[in-house]
Structure 1
Amino acid sequence: MYVITGGGTGGHLAIAKVLATVLKKQKQPVIYIGSLQGQDRVWFEKNDLFDSVYFLNTTGVVDKKGAFFIKAIVLQIRAILKVRAIFKTHKIHTVISVGGFSAGPASIAAILSGKRFFIHEQNAIKGKLNQMLTPFAKNIFGSFEDKSKQFLKTPYPVRQEFFLESRVRKKVRTILFLGGSQGAVAINEFALNVAQDLILRGYKIIHQCGSRDFERMKQEYIRMELFGKIDLFDFSSNIITKISAADLCICRAGASSVWELAANGLPCIYVPYPYAAGNHQYYNALFFENKKLGFIVEQHNLTQKKVFGLLDEMEADLENISRGLQNSIQKNGAEIIIKKIMEK
């Protein structure tokens, strides 16, 4: 039986979901081990994808100090002991980590118990936990570059829906501001600053502002007399439809996001979250900018003049950028990863 572990954020959990989907299609039993913290329970507590799910009382360790660090370590140790019992109950032979602090107990228990252990690293800069566990993994899978001797470069495991709804953009008619379900305040503020001018230039606007900022954004757009002219939403269970309707996206640069948008062929202006660990969002976006498949605007440079200049530049080459994004990723990333794991 397989274990998939890790989470905390939607990016990690999206990987867990798509890998579990492939295992289930191949009639392989799989359980999930995550944390009571983060988004793990929201994603998988009532999901029938796994044979069993476990949510442990853990928190991150690397960002803690003093008494909080000691408490986090104690919680991790207790969770490791629980995981070893879970392994015996389910006769686990393979553990796949998708990263995030949720992955700590099951990953360490796998190493201590001699289970086959694999890592999927989402980002261009490896997370702290994955850095520490890399020497013990049979393979590290990733879509960026890595110098680890166990590293295997594989297509990013994106849900098939992003490919099915993909299209080549030839002209910018609709612009999507994508802040994720949690929102991105800097992107929200920028959207407010430029919305009137974008509409005057003839563009339609779709704006995901996040649940925490929705009421404020709604009131601001009402005040500006733009509310009925903009597709404003906080969360959508059918986000792919919103993405497919857009011709250009202004967004953060989390790993799942950049590859999902690439699979859909949607050109982007990336605004990396400046406080991400190891500045990994910047390096995720840099991978695409270096291939001339998008542009980076760092948050402190997020101005109308800068973005409008890039918008004009991207419109001139939009079709090539869109096709290049589609060609940068294969459709069967999850299947390739699972196949390599099963062959080991």
Structure 2
Amino acid sequence: MTATRHFLLAAGGTGGHMLPAYALAGELIARGHRVALVSDDRGLKIPGAPHELETHVLPAGRVHGGPVGWVKAALAIRKGRRMAIDLIRDFDPGAVVGFGGYPSLPSLLAARATKTPSMIHEQNAVLGRTNRLMARRVDAIAVAYRNIQRLPKGLDLKTHMTGNPVREEIIAIRDEGFPPLPEDGILRLLIVGGSLGATVLSDVVPAAVAMLPKALLERLQVVQQCREADIEAVRGKYAELGVAADCMPYIGDFPERLRWAHLVIARAGASTVAELACAGRPAIFVPYPHAMDNHQTYNVVDLVEAGGALSFAQSDFTPGALAKQLQRMALEQGALEAAADHAASCGLPDATRDLADLVESLVPPPLMDVIRVGASRQRKSAGIAAARREAQ
């Protein structure tokens, strides 16, 4: 049994940062460790934290707003660093793990000041600002994609591809395989626009569906996440077309909807891309054009190159272009099944386990673990020697 160790996680205040942190925390707790998490007020309101997880709020500061904003941010980060040093001295973690976002910065700086082993995890295919700042200062870098943009040169030896942690419910979908799609059967379409929906999907997808041949329309079922302001208009468009559609502002049972779907149209956030690849679902991505460093465009490169997805720049995402691809994928025999296989080939269902293994590797085993291992080896050696004497 692994001896209990302490680990401190630090993550920014968005779901993209917090959910992987929660997943790692749950895995480390399941292994018998004690885990604490540092974030801001916004981050700790995001659901999904393990019950046993200890949480702390530290000042972080966000670098924006010109010279005055920069000074305020620097003061907040300095204060947060001092508080994080006190937390590290009190909690005594074996390692500090940062998941990006400004709230992770004070804890990573404090780890360096106290000579505590540290690492960062990058969810996107472009290294974020905080992770770029700390990349040369940490002991390990965990990434989710083969090709990472903005990664400083010379860090290959401490860079490890673990992937993004994915919920167990999503991994179960992978094990079930792609749902059968007979030639005259129902085609099930799932549209996801991120945590708040996306108006461009509400505008383009129903208009593209309207351009499909009648025989395909009669086979179509749709589940679409929409902004509150768009729901009634989208429902009305599908009703006019006679298409069975369920529209909602938030998909609370996303794993079940994903299990149901034959094709997904979505933004390209890191969690969404990881879940679709892990589940083995073909997708049409429309990366959010204003994402920091255009990271959503890079997030889908591996899936597109593997043949598991298509990607449209938002400016090219027109009803005509989408209708053409929907018709091709729906009517070309085996197209969706093949794309599903290609998507699954990019999935990393063991990401949480691999990430936890990497974190544990940063921490030398406690003395009692060494003693137990040494005693076990001595007993094993004595047993082998006795067996050899008997054989003689």
- Say if 2:181 is the partner of 1:168: no
Structure 2 length-normalised TM: 0.80
- 1:313, 1:24 → 2: CA distance? 47
Q: 1:306 to 1:102 in 2, by over 3 A?
A: same
Structure 2 equivalent of residue 43 of structure 1: 47
Tell me which amino acid in the other structure corresponds to 1:42: I
Q: 1:313 to 1:43 in 2, by over 3 A?
A: same
Q: Which range is displaced more, 219-228 or 303-312?
A: 219-228
Q: 1:18 to 1:205 in 2, by over 3 A?
A: same
Equivalent pair of 1:169/1:322 in contact (CA under 8 Å):
no
* Cα deviation, residue 96, structure 1: 0.7
Structure 1 equivalent of residue 231 of structure 2: 218
* Cα deviation, residue 308, structure 1: 1.7
Structure 2 equivalent of residue 2 of structure 1: 7
- Say if 2:222 is the partner of 1:205: yes
Structure 2 equivalent of residue 183 of structure 1: 197
* Cα deviation, residue 69, structure 1: 2.1
- Say if 2:268 is the partner of 1:267: no
Structure 2 equivalent of residue 25 of structure 1: 30
Structure 2 equivalent of residue 331 of structure 1: 349
* Cα deviation, residue 311, structure 1: 2.1
- 2:208, 2:326 → 1: CA distance? 12
Q: Deviations over 1:193-232 (max 9, x none)?
A: 33545695231110112xxx22x22321454472993211
Secondary structure at 1:334's aligned position in 2?
A: helix
Q: 1:283 to 1:66 in 2, by over 3 A?
A: same
Q: 1:157 to 1:225 in 2, by over 3 A?
A: closer
- Gap runs ≥5 in structure 2: 1-5, 363-392
Secondary structure at 2:46's aligned position in 1?
A: helix
Question: Which has more radius of gyration?
Answer: 2
> Root-mean-square deviation (CA), in Å?
2.2
- Say if 2:297 is the partner of 1:289: no
Tell me which amino acid in the other structure corresponds to 1:34: S
Secondary structure at 2:300's aligned position in 1?
A: helix
Structure 2 equivalent of residue 34 of structure 1: 39
Identity of aligned residues (%): 23
- 1:308, 1:82 → 2: CA distance? 55
Q: Deviations over 1:27-60 (max 9, x none)?
A: 10000000124x432336x75141x201234342
- Say if 2:266 is the partner of 1:251: yes
Equivalent pair of 2:288/2:314 in contact (CA under 8 Å):
yes
Secondary structure at 2:21's aligned position in 1?
A: helix
- 1:141, 1:123 → 2: CA distance? 11
Q: 1:279 to 1:161 in 2, by over 3 A?
A: same
Q: 1:85 to 1:296 in 2, by over 3 A?
A: same
